[in-house]
Amino acid sequence: MSVVNIKDSDVDIIIGALRSDLTSFMNEWRSIFSRFHLIIVKDPDLNEELKIPEGFNVDVYAKSHMDHVVGSSTSVLFSGYSCRCCGPAYYEPDNSSHPFFFNTLYDPYREGADFVRGYPFSLRNGVMCALSCGLWLNLADFDAPTQALKPGQRNSRYVDAVMTVPARAMMPISGINIAFDREVIGPTLLPALRLAGEGKLRWETMEDIWSGMCVKIVCDHLGMGVKSGLPYVWRRDRGNAIESLKKEWEGVKLMEEVVPFFQSVRLPNSSHSGRLCGRDRKGSEAKVGTIGSCFCSCC
């Protein structure tokens, strides 16, 4: 596997601005953020001017930029956490994933690790990793029912490991801590499935879960990898789980239909890019059952 050297100037960090005053947040992350180019995407429902401290290389995307991208369409809405999806992203891919045969020593490409006995040599070159999903410390990415049932539970376990998610295995993703190849799978990460009464907090939305399912079947179809593990971010408590549960409950029930639907999706061989896969996925809408109205409105 070739080693990829990524320059700081090649990295964009996307930040969704749901509140106007970003001073304390930016200063807390200054040692990291100051090295890279920042793209701050302002929630289109936020009326106040953003307060951003000096010393950062920043471009701000506002509602006018979103309107320029999607025009008058109401199928793609960038409010709340979805506003992050409007920013472009850069991720340098490498052949560091191995979705077709599981390695029991986690990531074989990391220093001190390798492929275990019995791993086919024909698969050891790996395939391109199109999406890398980081994890959360402190407040893990639980759903509202779990958080309401265990309000004091926190994730304090740091695992120094990265794993490739096996092909044909489904997984949810959080849009907060990910890196991806924009050219390959960018179109599949647009905010899609919307709940009728959803709010703006992470417990109250489903669009990144839906997008994660889309990305996974596209990567499986294109023969690319998805990884989960490092790096971690520290997540603070925010929102009321009980109130969020009232808005998210429909989404919790919906997942019992969403997962079998995605497990049944097969894309044609003519779909050789993320954009074409997204287009051809629309042909599966008849199979979606009771979530058909949500599916049709987001495609």
Contacts of range 287-294, beta carbons closer than 8 Å, 24 or more positions apart: 287/261, 288/257, 288/261, 289/257, 289/261, 290/257, 291/193, 291/254, 291/257, 291/258, 291/261, 294/193, 294/194, 294/195, 294/254
Domain ranges for the chain, please list them: 7-88, 91-298
Q: Which residue has the higher pLDDT, 299 or 179?
A: 179
Q: Terminal CA-to-CA distance of the chain, rounded, Å?
A: 37
- What angle do the packed helices 274-281 and 207-222 form, to 10 degrees? 110
Give me the mean pLDDT over the 270-284 stretch: 57
**Quick one: what percent of the chain has pLDDT higher than 90?**
28
Tens of pLDDT, residues 150-160 = 888 899 999 99
Task: Give the CA distances from residue 44 to residues 15, 58, 200, 238, 264, in Å, rounded to whole numbers and listed in that order.
Answer: 14, 18, 12, 20, 36
Task: Give the CA distances from residue 182 to residues 29, 35, 131, 219, in Å, rounded to whole numbers and listed in that order.
Answer: 24, 21, 9, 13
pLDDT of residue 178: 85
Q: Which residue has the higher pLDDT, 18 or 54?
A: 54
Tens of pLDDT, residues 21-78 = 999 999 998 998 999 999 898 888 888 999 999 999 999 988 787 777 666 555 555 6
Q: Which of the four pLDDT bands, split at 50, 70 and 90, describes residue 299? A: very low
Beta carbons within 8 Å of 253's beta carbon, 6+ residues apart: none
